[in-house]
Structure 1
Amino acid sequence: MLPDCLSAEGERRCRQLLTRATARLRARPAAAAVLVPLCVVRGVPALLYTLRSSRLSGRHKGDVSFPGGKCDPTDQDVVDTALRETHEELGLAVPEDHVWGILRPLYDQTMSTIVPVLASVGPLDLQSLKPNPEEVEEVFALPLAHLLQEQNQGYTHFCRGGRFGYTMPVFLHGPHRVWGLTAIITEFTLQLLAPGAYQPRLDFPGFQPRD
């Protein structure tokens, strides 16, 4: 059963759990930061995702992701990066006091550190967003209740040299499949918001998130 994670009590609990990590990681150098936008769409708690433009260069074009990008030398910290990139990509201005904290950082296959920043953006009309067509092809939301349903959860086994390497989560049956690092960040978020309601599907030794 989905708890009322958007209540004042739920927010206080999450902020408290993230306090130490946020203080430790906020100013630590990182390659990139993403915002994990917790929103309410038509009265339903959800997470907001983007579909990266197929016109972008690089291996992640056309992927589902959270808004975010590379840290700029002018950014004050990773929170500043996540908020700036979200505004640039979606035209969504998120006040800093809406940030709940920093989730567990990850590193990708190039060993670059990616920092997820959780924030509540409140009630949201997706039609009011103004995505940058150069970066974002589509914006969509997945209700937390959908993400927590077992039939919408899966996993992918990866092999290296013909042997089992690691397992990563995947979330199914939405407008687009959520996989890769975005699925891992989604998993971290569900574990925080709905403790006990989500069973982790993470098992990838050699590709571990950083503390």
Structure 2
Amino acid sequence: MLRDCLSAEGERRCRRLLAGATARLRARPAAAAVLVPLCSVRGVPALLYTLRSSRLAGRHKGDVSFPGGKCDPADRDVVHTALRETCEEVGLVVPEEHVWGVLRPVHDQQKTTVVPVLAGVGPLDLQSLRPNPDEVDEVFALPLAHLLQEQNQGYTHFCHGGHFRYTLPVFLHGPHRIWGLTAVITEFTLQLLAPGVYQPCLASPELPRG
């Protein structure tokens, strides 16, 4: 079943589900965008992640992330931002026609809007990538099968002032813990790629529908 998500039929299904949201979100300005690279590593469907450089400024240094960053005034839209940043960060050139669509935006604690862009990047040899050492310490892929196993899933409950606020997913037992907005975007992606298989975090928003 997981291999089906890389098939032409699986791609058409995802593009169809995301078409409405993609059209709307490409027409709106946003603060930042990330690329969610769906790839194949030795024939196994996987998602590609980066480990942000520990030398970066800010609270997210050393965190797992999808490649991406702030929208530049010269960018045409969020898709252009995600593709440009991916090339700059990991040296991966993704043609725009490989973009399947735009997932639901997420918002950080500062209310910054981050738009996830899903693309099929095909078979990847991770050793061939050339990450920018100023921004990325490591590039790694996690198989969808790993992410979908319950023993590799967890949840973090966030409280403020002694009161429960919200719950976010966490993905464990890979080379690095996936948490925060990256885990939420991973959850959106799994809901799209493996409907009926992945059971989302109860406090997480639903996948956008066209």
Specify the TM-score bucket, using the shorter chain as the normaliser: over 0.9
Q: Please state how far the C-alpha of 1:2 moved relative to its aligned partner.
A: 3.2
Q: Please state how far the C-alpha of 1:27 moved relative to its aligned partner.
A: 2.3
Aligned positions, number? 208
CA distance in 2, matches of 1:114, 1:3: 28
Q: Secondary structure at the match of 2:2?
A: coil
Q: Secondary structure at the match of 1:46?
A: strand
Q: 1:98 to 1:55 in 2, by over 3 A?
A: same
Aligned to 2:83: 83
Aligned to 1:19: 19
Aligned to 2:157: 157
Once superposed, which parts of structure 1, at least 4 consecutive aligned residues long, lie more than 2 Å away?
A: 208-211
Aligned to 2:103: 103
- What residue ranges of structure 1 are gaps of 5+ in the alignment? none
The answer to whether structure 1 residue 69 and structure 2 residue 69 are counterparts is yes
TM-score, length basis structure 2: 0.96
Q: Deviations over 1:45-82 (max 9, x none)?
A: 00000000011001100000000000000000000000
Aligned to 1:194: 194
Q: Deviations over 1:85-137 (max 9, x none)?
A: 00000110000000000000011110110000000000000000000000000
TM-score, length basis structure 1: 0.96
Q: RMSD over aligned Cα, in angstroms?
A: 1.4
Q: Please tell me whether the aligned partners of residues 154 and 170 of structure 2 are also in contact (alpha carbons under 8 angstroms).
A: yes
Q: Please state how far the C-alpha of 1:3 moved relative to its aligned partner.
A: 5.6
Q: Secondary structure at the match of 1:54?
A: coil
Aligned to 2:57: 57
Identity %: 82
CA distance in 2, matches of 1:210, 1:148: 16
